[in-house]
Chain A
Amino acid sequence: MIVADGLVKTFGKRGEIRAVDGATFTAADAAITGLLGPNGAGKTTVLRMLATLIPPDAGAASIDGLDIVRERARVRKGIGVLSDARGLYARLTARENVRYYGRLHGLAGTALETRIDALLGELGLAALADRRTQGFSQGEKMKVAIARALVHDPATIMLDEPTSGLDVMSIRGLRDLLRALRAAGKCILISTHVMQEVALLCDRIVILGGGRVQATGTGAELLARTGETSLEDAFVSLLGSAEGLAA
């Protein structure tokens, strides 16, 4: 369970750029929450704060009751993060990349190897497991990065634009994986600007614009509130036309 309460993050020498300006929302367990917003809405910054990578300037957030600033070390054990930057070690094999993160999370031995095999199998990477990631396609690299984020079986999973660069088959595979994780009771937060993704996958939608939460609810609730028939129209109407079109 993620609870964000008035998160603020500013950049620039005098804090003149308010990337996130009071974001308040929750993401429940056993649910997929979509953080939807146009480019520059502050999605990545929100995720970075929740992933304990950068501290908020104001406001607070907790994950499973643990404060993301004061209890940073404990928060990190329970989260799996696919961040904006998702580089792999090109000279290590897919398995070794995932194993490195597993070890850092305190896993070892056969338990870790079994887990890696299972994950790579689920992501369709079994055949590539022992090849160096050097020549991997965009989609294959993304899958390794996802496996790496999930190796310690975290209760909370945060994925920043997880479908970017993936082909249709891979996206379908990823959706199945996320649904399975939801069925296992995980709290899943994904950020995206792809409307279709949200419609197909998310139980709840948090619409972010200008660093603020503009609306939250299920897809049906958002359609009802705006009186629109498509999610895209609802999105535009909620954000105000100009910003919406930029998406």
Chain B
Amino acid sequence: MSSPETSGMTSLDRIVTVARKELTDTLRDRRTMLVTLLTAIAAGPIFFALILNMAASQAEKARELKLPVIGAGNAPALIAFLKRQQVSIEAAPADYEAKIRSGDLDVVLVIAADFETDVAAGKAVTVRMVYDRSRDRARAAIESAESLLRAYNGQWGTQRLLLRGIAPQVAAPLEVQGIDLATPQQSGALILFLVAYYGLFASLMGSIAVALDATAGERERGSLEPLLATPLSTLQLAIGKWLAIGAFDLLVVLLTLAGFYLMLNFAPLPAIGVPFLFGGAELTRFVAILLPLVLLLPAVLLYVGLRGRTLKEAQSNVSALVFVVSMVPVVQLFLQKKEPAWLLWVPVSGQYTLLTRALRGDGIAGTDWLQSAALPLLLTIVALAAAARLLRREDVFAGR
């Protein structure tokens, strides 16, 4: 047997060797590929399309309100007012209550038969709006019907005061004027949230399966022990695996964001106008904002995965991490107060904050990015060192 020439090998060569092997191994795992691609890439845009659709039909409803009325003939002046406001008045079916409960009707106006006689007698009159406020879909119709009736009420009262020679300001000393500062990009908070959320989520989901296979999977298969008897150092092994997981994670993030980009810019979306922009600039910003997480999460998963003797054990360890990462944006969404400035330093939280800012079209300073990246980068190094240490522990293969 001839002895092959042993060339001088740098640690970079070994790291690259490990990363290449892991990537080859990963890309050949069809089932994991399919699951990862489906959950991270397809689920986002599909869910998102549904939300957009819902928002579109809600906007549609607000614009052309169809109002079924019981007793339309009892208050001709009110009906005339509503018709002037582009409301199409319909006769309500007799079983309107059941239809509202079942969601077939959003809101019905009921005008009593003694409306005119009560008005003539100078009494306050009542009209009834019947609706089910628990239905999100009905909310836009309810609100616009309500505000129309309020407007009619105000107009009517003002006319009466004027007839009596009293300025309307006497009865209404406080005038509330709402000035909505939201640019078109700033509305649609829910959709905004979803896009940022899925961007974050992709950076986590993209690497879980791959990371666990490369760590707990390697322990379970019994291929770790012989590997550790080669000249490969545990730090080289950890970095090589991390590079492979990170590269795949970046791929998933890019594909997910590309899916958003293509859908928002080229898909035949309902004509409501998307409440924010997601163009090339936003895409680039998203990638830049998520980059620290694409480095950090694979490193953390590497460490957590290596703690598991089997894939199953590692999976349950990882679910805690998934919980934290997926809850942070939700907590922030429901946070009523303005976000404190230090939140930008917190991994995941900082990225979520910047993602929503990017979507709103707010400027992001370089220092903001540095703040959000500082801790993730530091923790990446800590996690890699911890993973390498873990690989040096005897029980990582002994006592399987």
Contact = CB atoms under 8 A, between A and B. Distances in A.
A83 B14 CA distance: 21
A100 B21 contact: yes
Nearest to A113: B4
B29 interface: yes
B25 A92 contact: yes
A148 B394 contact: no
Contacts of B17: 100, 103-104
A104 B232 contact: yes
A15 interface: no
B224 A85 contact: yes
B231 A84 contact: no
Interface string A95-108: 01000111111111
Given A87-B221, A104-B14, 4 more contacts: A53-B397, A76-B229, A87-B226, A106-B9
B136 interface: no
B226 A85 contact: yes
Contacts of A76: 229-231
Q: Chain B's interface: helix, strand, loop or mixed, by majority?
A: loop
Nearest to A151: B4
A70 interface: no
Interface string A166-193: 0000000000000010001000000000
A152 interface: yes
Interface string A71-95: 0010011010111111111111000
Contacts of A81: 226, 229
A83 B6 contact: no
Interface residues of B, number: 37
Given A77-B231, A100-B21, A107-B7, A85 B1 contact: no
A107 B230 contact: no
Contacts of B3: 153
A84 B225 contact: yes
A114 B4 contact: yes
A82 B226 CA distance: 7
A214 to B, nearest CB: 24
Contacts of B398: 48, 54
6 contacts: A76-B231, A87-B218, A100-B21, A108-B7, A114-B4, A152-B6
A118 interface: yes
B210 to A, nearest CB: 12
B29 A145 contact: no
Interface string A133-155: 00000000000010011001100
A12 B392 CA distance: 18
Most B C-beta atoms less than 10 A away, residue of A90, A132, A145: A90
B223 A87 contact: yes
A149 B399 CA distance: 22
B5 interface: yes
Contacts of A115: 2, 4
B243 to A, nearest CB: 15
Contacts of A73: 231, 233
B229 A91 contact: no
Interface residues of A, number: 45
Given A53-B225, A149-B226, A118 B1 contact: yes
Given A54-B394, A76-B229, A81-B229, A92 B6 contact: no
Given A91-B29, A92-B24, A52 B229 contact: yes
Nearest to A186: B1
B221 to A, nearest CB: 4
Contacts of B14: 104
A112 B25 contact: no
Given A107-B7, A152-B6, A184 B223 contact: no
A46 interface: no
Contacts of B151: none
B25 A184 contact: no
A130 to B, nearest CB: 14
Contacts of A153: 1, 3-4
Contact of B226 (A54, A86, A102, A118): A86
Interface string B310-351: 000000000000000000000000000000000000000000
A87 B18 CA distance: 16
A211 to B, nearest CB: 15
Contacts of A82: 226
B7 A83 contact: no
A79 B5 CA distance: 16
Interface in B21-41: 21, 24-25, 28-29
B231 A145 contact: no
Contacts of A54: 394, 398
A162 to B, nearest CB: 13
A40 to B, nearest CB: 13
A77 B70 CA distance: 91
B363 interface: no
B1 A145 contact: no
B268 interface: no
A112 B4 contact: yes
A100 to B, nearest CB: 5
A51 interface: yes
7 pairs of A and B residues whose beta carbons are closest in the complex:
A85-B222, A87-B222, A87-B221, A87-B223, A106-B9, A85-B225, A111-B4
Contacts of A77: 6, 231
Contacts of B84: none
Interface string A11-53: 1000000000000000000000000000000000000100111
